[in-house]
Amino acid sequence: MTVQTDQLPEGSLKKRSRPGELAIRGFLFFCGAVSIATTVGILYELGKESWLFFGDEQVSVVEFFTHTVWQPQAGVFGVIPLVLGTILISIIAIVVAVPIGLAAAIYLSEYASKRVRSFFKPVLEVLVGIPTVVYGFFALTFVTPFLRDWLGSDMVGFFNVLSPGIVVGILIVPLVSSLSEDALSAVPDSLRQAAYGLGASKLEVSLRIVVPAALSGIAAGIVVAISRAVGETMVVTLAAGAAPRNFSWGDSIFGYILNPFEYAQAMTGYIVVTASGDLGYNTIDYNSIFAIGLTLFFMTLGLNSLSRRFVKRFRQEYE
């Protein structure tokens, strides 16, 4: 039965005002605007203070990004050793976190019952709530002594990159597992049933059907975990060392420059040590932490942009 529009009461097709919906939309817009304004404010402050650092005649942008020695006391500001320490720790953390987190996600999504999943997933995510300073002391008092006893104190230094890298990897396991499990669970069950109908085993369905179908979500979770590892502070401050690993291009690459058993200082670690020291405000040493913070900001921004491009390229939509 159809109703003629000319028989409807006048004004019945007009959009009705809904104050509650308008209020919710306004609140959501406000939250988004606050987030954007906060990011812009952070970028403005970092840029302003970094301008004071690079405006000094002793420092140039070319020197900052090309020199391999960081000695503020001597007026040498080459950020490569700090960036290298951050990257080494992040790589070790990802090597630890991705296999464990992805395996846990596959188990929770494909093998665990609802009862087991409802128990283990919150337990796994409890790791996120542990203060990072606890992880730092765990790396310093347990992981480092274990590595020194296992591999030898002559090989593993008291401050080294491997120990905080392992612990940061443990720290970001919940990020990888939770986001990956959500992506795996979003894969339509029809794909699984079709694979089972063709004679595939449970493992084959999990690794050859479900994981490739959820690849974009898994990759996004891994990139978020990398960003978390890059920005980690307390673990690397306590366990990696308080001095940058200065080097020259003639040094051994794997014997010293990329040696995970040697000390190194990450970018966040230097910021904490310098900001909590007795340096005067607006000195060149103090302003250097803002230049490092700006560099860290763009590193994280680049990772997030890469994640968005990857997700957009490989995202699969199902009806």
Secondary structure (DSSP) of the chain: ----GGGSPTTTTSPPP-HHHHHHHHHHHHHHHHHHHHHHHHHHHHHHHHHHHHHSTT--HHHHHH-S-EEGGGTEE--HHHHHHHHHHHHHHHHHHHHHHHHHHHIIIIIS-HHHHHHHHHHHHHHHHS-HHHHHHHIIIIIHHHHHHHH-TTTS-SS-SHHHHHHHHHHHHHHHHHHHHHHHHTS-HHHHHHHHHTT--HHHIIIIIIHHHTHHHHHHHHHHHHHHHHT--HHHHHHT-SS-----TTS-IIIIIT-TTS----HHHHHHHHHTSSPPTTSHHHHHHHHHHHHHHHHHHHHHHHHHHHHHHH-----
Which of 63, 90, 89, 88 is closest to 75 using CA atoms?
A: 63
pLDDT at 11 over 70: no
Confidence band for 317, pLDDT divided at 50, 70 and 90 = low
CATH of the domain at 272: 1.10.3720.10
Is residue 289 assigned to a domain?
yes
**What confidence tier does 169 reach under pLDDT thresholds 50, 70, 90?**
very high
Q: Does a structural domain hold residue 3?
A: no
What does the pLDDT read at residue 4? Answer: 55
Instruction: Determine, yes or no, domain membership for 130.
Output: yes
- Comparing 59 with 318, which gets the higher pLDDT? 59
263: in domain:
yes
Domain containing 267 equals 61-314
Is 55 contained in some domain? no
Mean pLDDT, range 173-190, rounded to an integer:
88
Structural domain count, the chain: 1
pLDDT value for 82: 92
| Chain mean pLDDT for the chain | 84
Residue 309 covered by a domain: yes
Q: Give the per-residue pLDDT at 92.
A: 94
Residue 258 in any domain: the answer is: yes
CB 204 within 8 A of CB 105: no
Rounded mean pLDDT, 99-121: 87
Tell me: pLDDT of 277 over 80: no
Residue 106 has pLDDT above 70, yes or no: yes
Report the C-alpha gap between 51 and 46 in whole angstroms.
Answer: 8
User: What type of residue is 278?
Assistant: D
In a domain, 276, yes or no: yes
**Highest mean pLDDT: which of 136-150, 183-197, 208-222?**
136-150
What would the mean pLDDT of 84-108 be, rounded to a whole number? 92
Provide the CB-side half-sphere exposure for 251 (13 A, CA). Answer: 13
Nearest to 228 by CA among 94, 56, 63: 94
Q: 239 is written with which tokens? A: 């366990």
Q: Torsion angle of alpha carbons 56, 60, 63, 66, nearest 10°?
A: 130
- pLDDT per position as a tens digit, 212-229: 888 888 888 888 888 889
At residue 186 the predicted structure's pLDDT band, cuts being 50, 70 and 90, is: confident
Where does the pLDDT of residue 45 fall: very low under 50, low under 70, confident under 90, or very high at 90 and above? confident
Q: If pLDDT is split at 50, 70 and 90, which confidence band does 97 have?
A: very high
